[in-house]
Amino acid sequence: MTGTITISLHLNGEAVTATLPARMSLVDFLRETMGLTGAHVGCAHGVCGACTVRVDGAAVRGCLMLAAQADGATVDTIEGLTDTGAIADLQDAFHRHNAVQCGYCSPGMLITAADLLDRATLPDRAEIRDHISGNYCRCTGYQAIVDAISEVATARTKGAA
Amino acid sequence: MTLHAYDRPVSYIGASVPRPNATRLLQGRGRYVDDKVLPRMVHAAFVRSPHAHARILSIDVSAARALPGVVAIYDGADMAKVITPWVGVLTHLSGMRSPPQPALAHGVAHWQGEPVVMVIAQSRAVAEDAAALVDIDYEVLPAVCDMDTALAPDAPRIHPGLDSNLCWERKFETGAVDAAFADPTTTVVERRFTFGRHTGVTLEPRAVIGDYDPSEDRLTMHYSGQAPHMMQSVVSRHLGVPEARVRVVAEDVGGSFGIKIHTYGDEIATLAAAKMLKRPVKFVADRLESFLSDIHARDHRITARAAVDADGRLTAVEIDDVTGIGPYSVYPRSSGIEGNQVVNLTGAPYDFPAYRARLRVVFQNKTPMCQYRAVGHPIAVAVMEGLMDDLAHATGRDPADMRRINLRRDDSYPCTSPQGMRFADLSHQQCMEKLLTLMDYEGLKADRDAARARGIHRGIGLVSMVEVTNPSPMFYGVGGAPIAAQDGATARLDASGAVHVANSITEQGQGTETILAQITADVMGVTMADVHVTTGDTATVPYGGGTWASRGAGIGGEAMLQAARALRAQVLEVAGVILQAAPDTLTLVGGAVVDAATGAERITLRDLARTVYYRGNELPPGLKPELIATRHYRVTDYPFVFTNGAMASYVEVDPDTGMVKLLSHWVVEDVGTILNEKLVDEQIRGGVVQGIGGALFEECIYSDDGQMQNATMADYLVPMAGEMPDITIAHVCTPTRTSDLGAKGAGEAGTAGAPAAVMNAINDALRPLGAATLSQMPMTPERILRALGTVA
């Protein structure tokens, strides 16, 4: 319960070394130790998706992974993905479509959406709805989120053509 | 040439502009309570009652106290010394009673999840470790859970000081009800409804930081909630800190929906601990305790009947509602408003002469129940719309015609319902006709019938509805609650020519700050980027009620309009002096004072402000510009404003599995003046989906002894993206006569109407199969299969 562990990881492009309680979850490490409060804790049991971050390129629930497991990994949070501009088109589309209300789900939702667009070229609305079905949003009713993701998918496909 | 409003470079009212404050939320730069870290801050965890009803025999905290990192441990007796208990009754709900409620259970715990012991430690993790070491000995008492048996004469009493488990009863009657039902020429339908408990599941759990400075006797509450000034008063009353020395700050709030507008013992205890420890204390509910401690909603059993004459005209409606509220009426809004709304609003869209209602509000050993989005509305709408479909079926009429016959006529306002609700500026007929066109009702019926021929079971559900908005003091203030029905707005021109506004309504993502900026920018002739909005801080905003009952746009928006107009008048007065022109020949466009006739720029707001602030010597001595204006607004002519709308659902039911597929959903809503259509539509869509949650998925399932069986996110189902339909929205716009702005409110209509639409659609789909009528929500696959007789 009181054991500590030292980990090194690439966090938002920076090399980070930290000593922390071995039982600490990744999202608690990001929020409490590193001050990266963009990932949110909505349930702490892996259901709601508000804590979704990227670990080695994959969308991961930050509450279901121990920080210790991130030793040697590359971790990207909403803050890092904002700074690099990697998801700027998604953020802009979410803004224009009002696909955000309280904003608590938004960082996780954006990372999940980016994950879909990384693997599917032109997902239809049903595929988009299916892919974000692990991310709770209690405010929007989801339609605007689907609209925003769909628009970006189309734009990215055109851009690539 | 004269400048017309449409010639202005920007006109924001009515424009679907994106929310300026949403950008940072999308960048992970939100400022929610749990994001805040204060110097010397410690963390609270609570030991909660594992029993629905139990006497606390002993509490042993020795092992917990010995754990390194533990700072303090308090039980109910400790907290009773520093927090006075509260009583959640309103005097205008005559006869309501509820015993004093302590912050932490003291002597007896009354629901599973009631906080019993508070542990404070250097980290939340250590606080939870220590909480697990607290040893409490309970004597389990009989739990009174079922609201019907709770009223039996021999039922165990939850509160020994009361002669029964009844919190409040209201009965009233208008017109010749018995005669109408006894008339042999009428058709009468009767139905029994059950509405399960559900809860808000705000994605951000409840969270609070108490920060006390003994040197000034100042207590700051960092608050995730909707009504900062109400909380300021509550905290002052029960912690003994002068009200002016309590500051409540609500920055970003991760969803609220009515959950975060009540008094919670764990939050008040957190503030008390901060005061005792003289250092900041943070408490963030985890999801498991959210399910057991956030207020629950609904929980009604209703018997209702209605009669129509040979022409299909409603002659009478009767409703008997029993609603379970947990062990206490929640403070300070009371748990009586939900049921009161049900009996006040049932049948509101329709014109009928006779009405009888009985409401009984009952104590139980379950989590407290209180106001949640669309308070009472989904129940009232589902009951009446269910009866309307039954009447249509019984008299061989099309459900749309049944409504056409009975809707209040659009030319009949103002008018008063049998319950005494005063309606004005509504448009039920227009909304219904627009809905039927929007959804292609006749085409849809043909599609449904063709599908039936193929063995596919589709159904259409129609709804007409009202939504209470913009309440006057008749809602709460008249009953003695510290809840303002008025809101205040301040508008100020700074030395750079930018406009700063502050308003007592609050933002939980609806777009509150955006509409305030839109209104201000419009009046002041500046861009929205030049309007800077502050909300959610009792130290800096005018006094007001906050955001609830869909009152933000209608009341806070109107206050903002009047404040901006007052500032504009001041600016034009100063400009008139500086420019030696009559103020009424000038107007504001593009950040400048311009000639109203020609549009020629005369002086920028920046230059005007600098003249006033820096070079006052250039102004005549008698001119003392304020360049700041505050206005307050409350609804005075009517107890409430109402919006109205019509809604439809199209569903497909699989009779083998009981699964419901939502094919389409349509809404036509009359919210009065639309300030930002995108924001209105998204309020409606989000509301519809929350309503669908209650209709199909969400239920707090309890065992007979009061244990909630599904208190995790994995077990309590909410609507997810995959199951939700696209929702088509259209508008009818009848501005309310009660304000210049004309906005009625939009936050709750979706939740109010969607459950009834889905229920009627499912029953329409199942009727050809001979199924029993579904009248219990949520309408789960199991309940659908029971209705079909597939399972016993």
Q: List the domain boundaries for chain A.
A: 4-77, 87-160
Q: Looking at beta carbons, which residues of chain A come within 8 Å of B758?
A: none
Query: Is residue A98 pLDDT above 50, yes or no?
Result: yes
H or E segment to which residue B342 belongs: helix B337-345
What six digits make up the tokens of B86?
A: 């509260």
- Nearest residue of B to residue A23 by CA position? B125
Contact B104, B117 (CB under 8 A): yes
Closest CA to B538 of B230, B89, B759, B306: B230
Q: Looking at beta carbons, which residues of chain A come within 8 Å of B23?
A: 91, 95
> What topology is assigned to B296-473+637-787 in CATH?
Aldehyde Oxidoreductase; domain 4 (3.30.365)
Q: Inspect the interface and report whether the beta carbons of A140 and B30 lie closer than 8 Å.
A: no
Instruction: Estimate to the nearest angstrom the gap between the alpha carbon of B63 and the chain centroid.
Output: 43
Closest CA to B150 of B53, B49, B57: B53
| Cα B221 to Cα B138: distance, rounded to the nearest angstrom | 33
| CB contact residues (below 8 A), chain B span 5-34, against chain A | 18-19, 22-23, 25-30, 32, 34
What six digits make up the tokens of B513?
A: 């700050």
pLDDT of residue B5: 53
In the sheet where B108-109 sits, what is the strand order?
B108-109, B54-60, B135-140
- Nearest residue of A to residue B289 by CA position? A43
From start to end of B42-184, where are the E strands? 42-48, 54-60, 70-75, 108-109, 115-121, 135-140, 166-174
Question: Which range, of B8-12, B371-375, B769-773, averages the lowest pLDDT?
Answer: B8-12
Tokens 């009866």, residue? B387
Q: A44 CB near a chain B CB, below 8 Å?
A: yes
In the sheet where B314-324 sits, what is the strand order?
B166-174, B354-362, B314-324, B296-308, B187-199, B776-777
Contact B562, B488 (CB under 8 A): no
Q: Is A42 left (phi over 0), alpha (psi -120 to 50) or beta?
A: alpha
| CB contact residues (below 8 A), chain B span 500-519, against chain A | 508-511
Q: How far is A76 from chain B (nearest CA, A)?
A: 12
Q: Inspect the interface and report whether the beta carbons of A98 and B720 lie closer than 8 Å.
A: no
| Cα B168 to Cα A89: distance, rounded to the nearest angstrom | 55
CATH number assigned to the domain covering A4-77: 3.10.20.30
- The DSSP 8-state label assigned to residue B168 in this structure reads E
Q: What is the pLDDT of residues B616-655, one digit of tens each?
A: 999 999 999 999 999 999 999 899 999 999 999 999 999 9
Q: Looking at beta carbons, which residues of chain A come within 8 Å of B751?
A: none
Contact B432, B404 (CB under 8 A): yes
At residue B743, φ and ψ (nearest 5 deg) are -80, 135
At residue B166, φ and ψ (nearest 5 deg) are -90, 125
> Would you say domain B33-141+205-253+259-293 falls under CATH 3.90.1170.50?
yes
Of B200, B690, B720, the CB nearest to A133: B720
At residue B660, φ and ψ (nearest 5 deg) are -110, 130
What six digits make up the tokens of B535?
A: 């909300």
Closest CA to B11 of B676, B500, B670, B630: B676
Q: Inspect the interface and report whether the beta carbons of A129 and B287 lie closer than 8 Å.
A: no
| CB contact residues (below 8 A), chain B span 650-709, against chain A | 678-679, 682, 685-690
| Cα B50 to Cα B115: distance, rounded to the nearest angstrom | 10
Q: What is the pLDDT of residues A45-86, one digit of tens each?
A: 999 999 999 999 999 999 999 999 999 999 999 999 999 999
Q: Does B296-473+637-787 match B33-141+205-253+259-293 at the fold level?
A: no
Confidence of residue A160 (pLDDT cuts 50, 70, 90): confident
pLDDT of residue B6: 47
pLDDT of residue B442: 98
Q: Could you tell me which residues are beta bridge partners of residue B222?
A: B209, B249
Q: A6 CB near a chain B CB, below 8 Å?
A: no
- Determine the average pLDDT of the residues in B163-180: 98
Closest CA to B605 of B575, B638, B646: B575
> Would you say domain A87-160 falls under CATH 1.10.10.10?
no
Q: A130 CB near a chain B CB, below 8 Å?
A: yes
| Cα B746 to Cα B511: distance, rounded to the nearest angstrom | 11
- Nearest residue of A to residue B23 by CA position? A95
Q: Could you tell me which residues are beta bridge partners of residue B423?
A: B415
Closest CA to B534 of B560, B570, B569: B560
Q: What is the pLDDT of residues B427-452, one digit of tens each?
A: 999 999 999 999 999 999 999 999 99
Q: How far is A105 from chain B (nearest CA, A)?
A: 7
Query: Is residue B2 pLDDT above 60, yes or no?
Result: no
| CB contact residues (below 8 A), chain A span 99-128, against chain B | 100-107, 110, 125, 128
Q: Looking at beta carbons, which residues of chain A come within 8 Å of B34?
A: 31, 37, 40-41
Q: What is the pLDDT of residues B494-544, one digit of tens each?
A: 999 999 999 999 999 999 999 999 999 999 999 999 999 999 999 999 999
What six digits make up the tokens of A141?
A: 């009713």
| Cα B593 to Cα B575: distance, rounded to the nearest angstrom | 7
Alpha helix stretches (DSSP H) within B454-546: 512-524
Judged by DSSP in three states, A122 sits in coil
Please report the DSSP string for B109-130 in residue order: E-STT-EEEEEEESSHHHHHHH
Cα angle for residues A34, A39, A43 (degrees, 5° grid): 120
Q: Inspect the interface and report whether the beta carbons of A102 and B254 lie closer than 8 Å.
A: yes
Q: How far is A130 from chain B (nearest CA, A)?
A: 5
Judged by DSSP in three states, A20 sits in strand
Query: Is residue B711 pLDDT above 80, yes or no?
Result: yes
- Determine the average pLDDT of the residues in B765-791: 97
Q: B647 CB near a chain A CB, below 8 Å?
A: no
Q: Looking at beta carbons, which residues of chain B come within 8 Å of A104?
A: 30, 32, 203-204, 254-255
Q: Inspect the interface and report whether the beta carbons of A141 and B727 lie closer than 8 Å.
A: yes
What six digits make up the tokens of A132?
A: 């974000």
Confidence of residue B4 (pLDDT cuts 50, 70, 90): low
Query: Is residue A105 pLDDT above 90, yes or no?
Result: yes
pLDDT of residue B1: 42
SS (H, E, C) B354-417: EEEEEEEEECCCCCCECCCCCCCHHHHHHHHHHHHHHHHHHHCCCHHHHHHHHECCCCCCCEEC
Q: A139 CB near a chain B CB, below 8 Å?
A: yes
Please report the DSSP string for B656-712 in residue order: TT--EEEEEEEEEEE-BS-S-HHHHHHHHHHHHHHHHIIIII----B-TTS-BS--S
- Nearest residue of B to residue A41 by CA position? B204
Q: A140 CB near a chain B CB, below 8 Å?
A: yes
Q: Looking at beta carbons, which residues of chain B come within 8 Å of A147?
A: none
- Of the residues B43, B203, B665, B716, the best mutation for testing chain A's interface (the one with the most A CB atoms within 10 Å of its CB) is B203
CATH number assigned to the domain covering B5-30+486-633: 3.30.365.10
Closest CA to B517 of B501, B504, B505: B501
Q: Inspect the interface and report whether the beta carbons of B726 and A105 lie closer than 8 Å.
A: no
| Cα A65 to Cα B57: distance, rounded to the nearest angstrom | 40
Of B26, B687, B718, the CB nearest to A106: B26
Q: How far is A65 from chain B (nearest CA, A)?
A: 16
- Exposure pattern of B759-781 as b/e (b: 16+ CB <10 Å)? bbbbbbbbeeeebebbbbbbbbb
- Determine the average pLDDT of the residues in B131-139: 98
Q: Looking at beta carbons, which residues of chain A come within 8 Å of B511?
A: 98, 101
Q: Inspect the interface and report whether the beta carbons of B25 and A100 lie closer than 8 Å.
A: yes
Query: Is residue B677 pLDDT above 60, yes or no?
Result: yes
Q: Does A87-160 match A4-77 at the fold level?
A: no
Q: Inspect the interface and report whether the beta carbons of A103 and B25 lie closer than 8 Å.
A: yes
- Determine the average pLDDT of the residues in A21-37: 98
- In chain B, the percentage of residues whose pLDDT exceeds 70 is 99
Q: Looking at beta carbons, which residues of chain A come within 8 Å of B202?
A: 102, 138
| Cα B255 to Cα B202: distance, rounded to the nearest angstrom | 5
Of B27, B32, B689, the CB nearest to A141: B689
pLDDT of residue B9: 52
Q: Inspect the interface and report whether the beta carbons of B28 and A133 lie closer than 8 Å.
A: no
Q: Inspect the interface and report whether the beta carbons of B721 and A98 lie closer than 8 Å.
A: no
| Cα B530 to Cα B534: distance, rounded to the nearest angstrom | 13
| Cα A28 to Cα B662: distance, rounded to the nearest angstrom | 38
Give the residue extent of every domain in chain B: 5-30+486-633, 33-141+205-253+259-293, 296-473+637-787
Q: Inspect the interface and report whether the beta carbons of B203 and A136 lie closer than 8 Å.
A: yes
pLDDT of residue B700: 98
pLDDT of residue B475: 87
What six digits make up the tokens of A55?
A: 């670990």
pLDDT of residue B636: 92
Q: How far is B187 from chain A (nearest CA, A)?
A: 39
Of A39, A98, A104, the CB nearest to B254: A104
Q: Inspect the interface and report whether the beta carbons of A42 and B203 lie closer than 8 Å.
A: yes
Judged by DSSP in three states, B724 sits in coil
What contacts B334, CB < 8 A, 6 or more positions away? B88, B89, B90, B93, B96, B98, B370, B479, B481
